[in-house]
Structure 1
Amino acid sequence: MRAIVVFEPGGIDKLVATDLPVPPVRPGRVRIKVKAFGVNESEVTTRRGLSSRDVTLPRVPGIECAGVVDEAPAGSGLTPGQQVATMMGGMGRSYDGAYARYVLVPAGQVIPFTSDLPWATLGALPEMVQTAYGSLAAGLDLSAGQTLLIRGGTSTVGLTAAAMAKDLGATVLATTRRPDRADMLRDLGVDHPVFDDGEIADAVREICPGGVDAALELVGCGRLHDTLRAVRLHGTVCFTGASADEWTIPDFSPFGFIPNGVRLTAYGGAATDLPADVLDHQLRAVADGRLNVRVAKVHHGLESVREAQADLESGAFPGKHVVVLD
């Protein structure tokens, strides 16, 4: 089979198209024929050699995909040809991932679904839906009628979380560092775009004088203190991502950093956090037009992965980059 392999860290040229054996099915594993996959920041980080120690090279990157079951072990409940999604769980990091015609993953992280949506849409969803849903449900316990601030609102997870929160019945504030993207956020349902010049707490409190009920931090630790200041007493901030690559806080002390009575939590999930019925609900929401998926660009064939990662790094195309294999 054809696959993209990173043999050593570096630039775009380190994404090498290679012939590999089709992975044989082993006990507890399902082989998926990949139809489409999203291209993510973590895969860029892996290619650049900046990932944590759980990444080993050479490696086929790719932390998510949508496709069909090619072969499954007896007792898995999965049948060949069945539509499935998978993501995370070490995929593309500690074992070979989705930048390939076939991927072999643990049966427990395979989520079956049925949908008539195009593969370009389905391939964009697994990691975005899982991370956004986990952040809103497990991280923030968001409910209808609450106010939500998304710091990093034009990221793929931010856009998905905004759409999910609106579908839930929340009021959404979302940040952007580019004023020209405010209209895009409004078009996707965001109630209050907020220009992020590094400090947004005062601007957020002009909209919500007591502070927002919940905030999703996707930019990083360098902005976390300011995000905490935008949240009301007994509100919650969930740290999920760090698009600015700021994952730690030097000399951290809770006093002075975390405002009195504001709760700070985090979310870093796995496929098992996304029940099949939740994925089905989100797919139906997309099909019905209640959930807008922002696909930046659809790329065709494994040979287009270099272009997709380059476009992602450029930041010129807000939304998800998707590679469709057929």
Structure 2
Amino acid sequence: MVVEHPGGPDVLHERELPRPEPRDGWTLVRVMAFGLNRSELFTRRGLSPTVRFPRVLGIECVGVVESSSDPDLLAGTTVAAAMGGMGRQFDGSYAQYALLPTAQLMPVTSRLPWHVLAAVPESFLTAYGSLEALEPRPGHRLLIRAATSSVGMAALALAAERGVEVTATTRDPGKAPKLLRHGADHVLVDRGGGLGEGVRAIWPDGADRVLDLVGGVTVLDSLRLLAPGGRVCNSGIVSDDWIIPRFEPLEDIPSGATLTTFSSSSVNSGDWARRALQEHLHAIDEGGRRVLVDRVFPLAEVAAAHHHMEANRAVGKVVAVVQHS
């Protein structure tokens, strides 16, 4: 599915392209399924300044090794991949085959079907990395903004194991029951204009930790919600706003508080992601954790999947599966 030029979902078109040829340092992967991400909507609109078109989008995938110059990466090995320039600097996962840097492939073992496995890599690793940055301790009060996003739902599942009390936010009151079923202790409906009154009604002293997945427009409000010595981690931009408007650090960051970030591009730095991903998949296989797949589309209907995401209908991960003849 190729984007020839920026635009709405309908600029995604099915094209027959030559199968990529593996070369030193790169491995040909037969893509079986992939999760979709809001950053791909951003890129499709032409708002990622480094991306040149035409481009095959897709920043993550799961599949099997088709061929590789790496003798340790045998054909048929199940792998996951995320970020590292996928779908931006080079063609990504919206295809039957993807030529990917060998160094960023993560061999995995799992009993999960492809459409469930595809919901895990980017969302779980971002949630895991964000919680590591926040360092919540048992008894802490954690606010997750945009909790119905795929990263938010993954963070809910992980936070439930850390003994923290969680308040989740959503703009849609109809999504509140699902958040409560998946680990939230409280749900706040975000109607814009700040969450101060709602958060203080639950926690008079404020939140110890805030995972802000909305982005620039809410970060300052998140800082105002903190208890003394609290911490905010901004790990998403579901608002599509990268910039914090009128940000004055000395005024806007409370004394003793911390503002940090976690970028999912970090998943290709070191071996932590491979270890964490395999441990997470083992926990899912054993029934200790859940993966929330919102909806599954075939590759040819990726444009419809983009429409679905842009309408904010999803709770959890939107996934596409790839058919091979």
Same fold (TM over 0.5): yes
Note the residue ranges of structure 2 that are not aligned, 5 or more in a row.
none
For residues 210-289 of structure 1, the aligned pairs below 5 Å read: 210-270=205-265, 271-272=267-268, 274-289=272-287
Partner amino acid, structure 2, of 1:187: R
Shift of the 104–143 alpha-carbon distance from structure 1 to 2, 3 Å rule, reads farther
Match of 1:307 in 2: 304
Q: Which whole-Å CA distance do the structure 2 matches of 1:261 and 1:206 have between them?
A: 23
Alignment of 1:118 onto 2:116: no
Q: Distance in 1 between matches of 2:246 and 2:183?
A: 39
Q: Is this contact kept in 2: 1:175–1:195, CA < 8 A?
A: yes
Amino acid at match of 1:128: S
Out of 309, 313, 319, the residue aligned to residue 316 of structure 1 is 313
For residue 18 of structure 1, give the secondary structure of its aligned residue in structure 2: coil
Q: Which residue of 2 is the match for residue 19 of structure 1?
A: 16
Distance in structure 2 (CA, Å) of the matches to 1:281 and 1:219: 28
Residue-by-residue CA offset, 1:87-121 (whole Å, 9 max, x unaligned): 00110011000001111111221111111101010
TM-score (norm 2): 0.93
Find the counterpart in structure 2 of residue 296 from structure 1: 294
Q: CA deviation at 1:28?
A: 1.1
Q: Distance in 2 between matches of 1:291 and 1:202?
A: 33
What pairs with 1:66-81 in structure 2 (closer than 5 Å)? 66-75=62-71, 77-81=72-76
Q: Secondary structure at the match of 1:20?
A: coil
Give SS of 1:228's match.
helix
Aligned counterpart, 2:140: 146
CA–CA distance in structure 2, aligned partners of residues 178 and 313 of structure 1: 14
Residue 150 of structure 2 is matched in structure 1 by: 156
Cα distance between partner residues in 2 of 1:282 and 1:144? 20
For 1:98 and 1:143, the matched residues in 2 are separated by 37
Aligned partners of 2:185, 2:208: CA distance in 1, in Å? 15
1-structure distance, mates of 2:213, 2:313: 18
2:146 and 2:214 in contact (8 A); partners too? yes
Determine if the alignment matches structure 1 residue 55 to structure 2 residue 64. no
Q: CA deviation at 1:278?
A: 1.0
Trace 1:32-111 onto structure 2 (pairs within 5 A). Answer: 32-51=29-48, 53-75=49-71, 77-111=72-106
Gap regions ≥5 residues in structure 1: none
Amino acid at match of 2:21: P
| Runs of 4+ off more than 6 Å | none
Cα offset, 1:146, TM superposition: 2.5
Superposed displacement of residue 24, structure 1 = 1.0
* Deviation per residue, 1:298-320 (Å, 9 max, x gap): 112x2111111111111223221
The answer to whether the Cα contact below 8 Å between 2:235 and 2:261 also exists between their aligned partners in 1 is yes
Give 2:184's aligned residue. 190
Distance in structure 2 (CA, Å) of the matches to 1:91 and 1:192 = 36
Are the equivalent residues in 1 in contact too, given 2:127–2:155 (CA < 8 A)? yes
Distance in 2, Cα, partners of 1:100 & 1:62 = 9
Name the counterpart of 1:129: 124
Give the whole-Å Cα distance in 2 for the aligned partners of 1:298 and 1:172: 28
Partner-residue secondary structure (3-state), 2:56: coil
The percent of aligned pairs where both chains have the same amino acid is 44
Counterpart of 1:324, as a letter, is V
1:287 offset after TM fit, Å?
Answer: 2.5
Distance change in 2, residues 1:73/1:142 (3 Å): farther
Equivalent residue, structure 1, for 2:167 = 173
